[in-house]
Amino acid sequence: MSTQFQRIDDFRWRIPREGGMRVPGLVYATASMIEDIRRDKSPQQVANVAHLPGIVGHSLAMPDVHWGYGFPIGGVAAFDEEQGVLSPGGVGYDINCGVRLLSCDLPVDELRPRLEALSVALYRAVPCGLGRGSRLSLSERELDRVMEQGAAWAVDRGHGEPDDLRRIEEGGRLVGADPGRVSTRARTRGRPQLGSLGSGNHFCELGQVAEIYDEAAAAAFGLRAGTLTLMIHSGSRGLGHQICEDALRRMLEASARYGIALPDRQLCAAPLRSPEAIDYLASMACAVNFAFANRQVMTAFAREALAQELGMSEAELGLRVVYDVCHNIAKWEEHEVEGERRRLCVHRKGATRAFGPGHPQVPEPYREVGQPVLVPGDMGRYSYVLAGTERAMKETFGSSCHGAGRRLSRAKAKRVAQGRPLFRELRERGVFVQADSKRTVAEEIPEAYKDVAEVVDVMDAAGIARKVAKLVPLAVVKG
């Protein structure tokens, strides 16, 4: 099947229904971005998702869309409570991969002579790298509590403040987690990894608020030009990966049993009311909560290390959580569809929740301006903070882009980077990089990603999420 695009306006493109598609596709992009997207497999994946039973509205793709497992990365789909299905391919392997942003009032200009030392302090404090474990030691019973309680478990044990929890999606705990549904293999993989970054595109980054676009929203978020920020991008590590593996095996069997016609086996699914879907939601919630706790523990490690390096108390440092968002998740939400409030299971795969002003799930300090939307770019250029809008609630089930989106595969990025003095190149841009492996840095070179400014401009111009602030990187820790 050859995927066709119909232009709606400068930033929206329809993939019309054909064959077994139950709804159209809707892609957010400029004309030049569409040309790049056409060369990828992701448009076909958008169309494939539209085949799934009970899908509502559109099969959506954000401007950072690119090929992934099952759903495209940057894909969003909502499913009816009665007729819909649940697909692990609509969540992904790194369940609740997400981003946390912290800010403080320290002026970067006063810290520049110490940035390299601060990057080293972060690297020593936050365990990173493929398969590397944490500084914590969890018993099986404590692991159960992490999976049930999420970030609150970490705060209760001194890794942060209760106020942190107010500024995390779902309050840092997704209800419905059942550790009894998590396999022994998943537990074994996850137990030694709480409080660790991992590898790949995960990072811990010191940055600077470089530009403010929306003064009112920036003030509500506690962002001031010229001040220091900390961004942490990580997920549920081996625990979430194994939970996805386990679910995919069951869902392949379930798809056949329930007679669900699949255009792609990677979209294996089960009816939302089936035992298989209920089991996956309960185990997925365990991984979601593990990831929330993981970012909370790393926040505590980072606060401690930075305060110590600067010779001040953590209170004087004043690193406060702006927000923490999920990228890979499926969860129950209420949305208005054709004038009717409906309970839907919203899948976001490489996409960020972007609830608008006035929504009760937006924390009180931000409710007038909308939920913070955190969009990291690459380690050589910039990242953005956006705010969710009412239009997003009506059009994308309150969803926005989640990052820049890859342009080059990891293998191609390594070929492009071969022989280059990458650490020196980045340092000349003013970015200190500490990494467990040069290979990881090569895979994550800035050229491997789309320009996140273009991605964000689409969301802003389309009215889905408005720009609040631009952040530039100063020091990056990678696995």
Number of independent structural domains in the chain: 1
3-state secondary structure of 321: strand
* pLDDT of 375 over the 70 cut: yes
Residue 133: the pLDDT is 63
78 part of a folded domain: yes
Write down the pLDDT at residue 364. 92
Asked if 159 is an active-site residue, the reply is: no
Which pLDDT value is given to residue 214? Answer: 98
Averaged pLDDT score across all residues of the chain: 95
Kindly state whether residue 65 falls inside one of the protein's structural domains: yes
So what's the pLDDT on residue 2?
A: 59
Which of the four pLDDT bands, split at 50, 70 and 90, describes residue 479?
A: confident
211 belongs to a structural domain:
no
Helix (H), strand (E) at residue 324: strand 320-326
Expressed in percent and rounded to 5, the helix, strand and coil fractions of the chain are: 40, 25, 35
How many Cβ atoms are within 10 Å of 314's Cβ, its own excluded? Answer: 14
Q: Which is the catalytic residue, given 51, 159, 335, 402?
A: 402
Does residue 451 form part of some domain?
Answer: no
Confidence of residue 130 (pLDDT cuts 50, 70, 90): low
Residue-wise pLDDT tens digits, 157-206 = 999 999 999 999 999 999 999 999 999 999 999 999 999 999 888 999 99
Structure-derived torsion over alpha carbons of residues 90, 91, 92, 93, reported in degrees to the nearest 10: -150
Residue 135 lies in a domain: no
Residue 41 belongs to some domain of the structure: yes
131, pLDDT greater than 60: no
Segment 26-69, tens digit of pLDDT: 999 999 999 989 988 999 999 999 999 999 999 999 999 999 99
Q: Minimal CA–CA distance to 405: which of 159, 95, 65, 88? A: 65
Give the predicted TM-score (pTM) of the model.
0.96
Angstrom CA distances, 160 to 204, 318, 464, stand at 17, 12, 32
Predicted confidence band of residue 437 (pLDDT cuts 50, 70, 90)? confident
Does 52 fall in a domain? yes
| 125 pLDDT above the threshold of 80 | yes
Domain hosting residue 350, numbered range: 6-93+331-356
Give the whole-angstrom CA distance, residue 163 versus residue 11: 38
Lowest mean pLDDT among 119-123, 164-168, 406-410: 406-410
- Does the residue 442 lie in any domain? no
Region 471-475: mean pLDDT is 98
**pLDDT value for 137:** 85
**pLDDT recorded at residue 1:** 47
